[in-house]
Chain A
Amino acid sequence: MTLFLQIAFDGILNGMLYALVALGLTLIWGVMDVINFAHGEFLMIAMYVSYWLGFLMNIDPLVSWVASGVFVFLLAFVTYKLMVSHLVGKPALSALLATFGLSMFLKNLCLNRFSPNFKLLPVTVLSGKTIPVGSLILSLPQFVIAVFSLAVIFIVYHFIASTRMGWAIQATAMDKEAAELMGIDTEKIYGLVFGLGGACVGIAGGLLPTYMPVHPEVGSLFGLIAFICVAMGGFGSITGSLFASLLVGLVEAFAGFYIAPIFKYVAVFALYLVIVMLKPKGLFGW
């Protein structure tokens, strides 16, 4: 029983991390109907920022997540201005392919500059620490990320639901032209949303080096899982993607333990297929 609970616990913590990564993608997809294929690479860049700050200047990831978040916000904003703004409203495929090109560019740029070697910060405040909870063991770095994830989701949710800017974002998502007629600068909204999506994944990436090594391929799998979470949750639904992320985390943990480690992602992808077969617009889609 303890083992079962422990696995469930780890699955939920991992699911919270996926939720934070998927949150940015949900925002972008929901508001702009664009799939950002470079999302996983944004995560990787954030991890490198945090890693280099820790390695060169001895700043702990607990502090440098701010820098990662801001950096990826700017990166995403520039990406929007230079690339994505030309592609909004075009066939869905074009934005996906252009961002795929970007992901290839970023991944290989990092490969070229930082080498393919795994890099892990040797000493951070959190690394290796655990908290015993009854008979379970809680890994502190993962717990901290889960807390951050909840906090960021809460803030973003309230930002969208109850600020003027949030209402403007909702209006733009519902009907771009009508929003423009009401005097909303949709161009600004899109830029902001893309940046915000980047900032969410930037925060996740900033905290990850406390327990996960950085390498150029690290983002690919996270990106794929984030697509799955977002699509499983349903078009642009923040609650949906949170729920789906937790489900993915749990399925991954249980399949990895009870079937075989190599099958954990098979189970996750199969779960996605089953769910969209039953509900073609995802769990919370309409």
Chain B
Amino acid sequence: MRHRQSGFGLGCTIFGILAILPLIPGPLQGPFAKHVLVMVLLFASMSQAWNLLGGYCGQVSFGHSVFFGIGAYGAGMAVVKYGLTPWPGALLGAIIASIVSLVISYPCFRLKGHYFAIATFAIVEIFNRLFMVWYWVGGALGLDYPIIEEGWRNFMWYETKTPYYYGAFALFVLVFSTARWIERHRIGYYMRAVRDGQEAAESLGVNSPQVKLTAMAISAFLAALCGAFFVQYNLRVDPPMVMSLDMSMRFVLITILGGLGTLWGPLLGAAVLIPLQEYTRAIWGGLGGGVDLIIFGLLIIVIVIRQPRGLMGFVSWVVGHRARARGRG
């Protein structure tokens, strides 16, 4: 019970700090710093959506960029093709992404281990190429946004990034609250039971296909909302930008770096990786070409080998160390 309370307090503290972050004067005021913060919150949310399925339910999917992309195209099509606001498009995209995820994963969940992983690679490649030649959604050229009135209605701004920050923050609160609710809810316990031993869980009466499909649908829905935000932030979308293996891997890597199957792991991972990526790209990107990704690659290798539980493993080690020291004193 005490643990539950402290977890809640921690959550409120983190939300509170993030809510006032853009108001703090100093280095965080510049547009580039704002951009980095927006990306951190967006990728933390996206990785958390992945974590619901990959971390809590143990189904490692490399196909989440498909759902991310469907959400992005939902919002993009609403604005570019139909001249609507992005909101109904985002919602419809999220619903379609859930349905697509169920249709895809119903047969795929029969596959085990590497066979499942490779099937999800295959699905990303198929979707990527289909969207490339699907002229109704813009084909390889993608969708370019028209210049329309800025504001919350159209969810686009041209001169400031602060509203985008609060948009990303709202998304972040939504995704993390959902994750926390699921973590404590019956379905969350079922998901972890399926992850830790599917046969054992089934023998105790857990309907594992249903649990996995539920996790998949929720995860895909949230992923699509993140995609819709992403396209509103970039004001354009094309298939390689959203539906690629690299994009999928990014969600996985952030979660692994932060800590698989932990509530705050995705935030921690995004808070480390995204600034590293953005700043190395800003510093060396134009000159060296690829230096950011060279460092990124090395970092992944070191983390996976040295601390398989991610940064959260390191944090809990430090916290445990302090608790032990207190116990001794």
- Give Cα A127 to B119, complex, Å: 36
Give chain A residues whose Cβ lies under 8 Å from the Cβ of B200.
none
Interface residues of B in 240-298 (CB under 8 A from A): 245, 249, 252-253, 256, 288-291, 293-294, 296-298
Report the minimal beta-carbon distance from B240 to chain A, rounded to whole angstroms: 12
- Give Cα A112 to B286, complex, Å: 11
A94 touches B119 (CB 8 A): no
Report the minimal beta-carbon distance from B89 to chain A, rounded to whole angstroms: 26
Given contact pairs A100-B300, A280-B115, a sample of 20 additional A-B residue pairs in the complex whose CB atoms are under 8 Å apart = A83-B305, A93-B60, A101-B296, A101-B299, A101-B300, A104-B300, A105-B301, A106-B297, A108-B291, A108-B293, A108-B294, A112-B290, A112-B291, A115-B289, A231-B115, A262-B129, A262-B132, A266-B129, A266-B130, A276-B115
Interface residues of B in 296-328 (CB under 8 A from A): 296-301, 304-305, 308
A43 on the B face (CB < 8 A):
no
Give chain A residues whose Cβ lies under 8 Å from the Cβ of B289.
108, 111-112, 115-116
A108 touches B121 (CB 8 A): no
- Give Cα A272 to B304, complex, Å: 29
- Cβ contacts A228-245/B at 8 Å (1 or 0 each): 100100000000000000
A77 on the B face (CB < 8 A):
no
A101 touches B297 (CB 8 A): yes
A35 touches B304 (CB 8 A): no
B123 touches A87 (CB 8 A): no
A265 touches B297 (CB 8 A): no
B122 touches A269 (CB 8 A): yes
- Give Cα A105 to B300, complex, Å: 10
A112 touches B288 (CB 8 A): yes
B305 touches A97 (CB 8 A): no
Q: List 25 A-B contacts (CB under 8 A).
A: A83-B301, A93-B256, A97-B253, A97-B304, A100-B300, A101-B299, A104-B296, A104-B297, A104-B300, A108-B291, A108-B297, A109-B290, A112-B288, A224-B125, A227-B118, A231-B115, A262-B133, A266-B125, A266-B129, A266-B130, A269-B122, A269-B123, A269-B126, A270-B122, A272-B118
- Cβ contacts B109-149/A at 8 Å (1 or 0 each): 01111110111011101100110110000000000000000
What is the interface of chain A, defined by CB distance below 8 A to chain B? 29, 35, 83, 86-87, 90-94, 96-98, 100-109, 111-112, 115-116, 224, 227-228, 231, 260, 262-263, 265-266, 269-270, 272-273, 276-277, 280-282
Give chain A residues whose Cβ lies under 8 Å from the Cβ of B253.
97, 100
Report the minimal beta-carbon distance from A103 to chain B, rounded to whole angstroms: 7
A101 touches B301 (CB 8 A): yes
- Give Cα A2 to B288, complex, Å: 50
Chain B contact patch, size range: 35 or more
Given contacts A265-B129, A270-B126, A273-B122, contact A112 B294 (CB under 8 A): yes
Report the minimal beta-carbon distance from A210 to chain B, rounded to whole angstroms: 27
Q: Which residue of A lies closest to B252 (CB)?
A: A97
B119 touches A272 (CB 8 A): yes
- Give Cα A111 to B290, complex, Å: 7
Give chain A residues whose Cβ lies under 8 Å from the Cβ of B305.
83, 86-87, 98
Report the minimal beta-carbon distance from A39 to chain B, rounded to whole angstroms: 13
- Which of B113, B288, B291, B304 is the one whose CB lies under 8 Å from A101? B304
Give chain B residues whose Cβ lies under 8 Å from the Cβ of A112.
288-291, 294
B197 on the A face (CB < 8 A):
no
Report the minimal beta-carbon distance from A153 to chain B, rounded to whole angstroms: 22
A103 touches B126 (CB 8 A): no
- Which of A97, A105, A107, A280 is the one whose CB lies under 8 Å from B112? A280
Report the minimal beta-carbon distance from A245 to chain B, rounded to whole angstroms: 15
- Give Cα A271 to B39, complex, Å: 37
B107 on the A face (CB < 8 A):
yes
Q: Which residue of B lies closest to A90 (CB)?
A: B308
Report the minimal beta-carbon distance from B223 to chain A, rounded to whole angstroms: 19
B122 touches A272 (CB 8 A): yes
A105 touches B308 (CB 8 A): no
Q: Which residue of B lies closest to A282 (CB)?
A: B115
Report the minimal beta-carbon distance from A4 to chain B, rounded to whole angstroms: 25
Report the minimal beta-carbon distance from B283 to chain A, rounded to whole angstroms: 14
A228 touches B118 (CB 8 A): yes
Give chain B residues whose Cβ lies under 8 Å from the Cβ of A107.
290, 293
A269 touches B288 (CB 8 A): no
- Which of B121, B126, B290 is the one whose CB lies under 8 Å from A227? B121
- Give Cα A270 to B111, complex, Å: 15
Interface residues of B in 6-21 (CB under 8 A from A): none
- Give Cα A260 to B297, complex, Å: 35
Task: With a 10 A CB-CB cut-off, give which of A91, A101, A116, A280 has the most chain B CB atoms.
Answer: A101
- Give Cα A83 to B304, complex, Å: 9
- Which of A87, A92, A105 is the one whose CB lies under 8 Å from B304? A87
Give chain B residues whose Cβ lies under 8 Å from the Cβ of A111.
289-290
- Give Cα A109 to B129, complex, Å: 28
- Give Cα A172 to B44, complex, Å: 41
- Give Cα A273 to B294, complex, Å: 33
Report the minimal beta-carbon distance from A226 to chain B, rounded to whole angstroms: 10
Give chain B residues whose Cβ lies under 8 Å from the Cβ of A273.
119, 122-123, 126
- Give Cα A273 to B301, complex, Å: 30
Report the minimal beta-carbon distance from B135 to chain A, rounded to whole angstroms: 12
Report the minimal beta-carbon distance from A130 to chain B, rounded to whole angstroms: 31
Give chain A residues whose Cβ lies under 8 Å from the Cβ of B110.
277, 280
- Give Cα A35 to B114, complex, Å: 8
Q: Which residue of B lies closest to A269 (CB)?
A: B122
B290 touches A108 (CB 8 A): yes
- Give Cα A115 to B290, complex, Å: 10
Q: Which residue of B lies closest to A98 (CB)?
A: B304
- Which of B111, B123, B297, B298 is the one whose CB lies under 8 Å from A280? B111
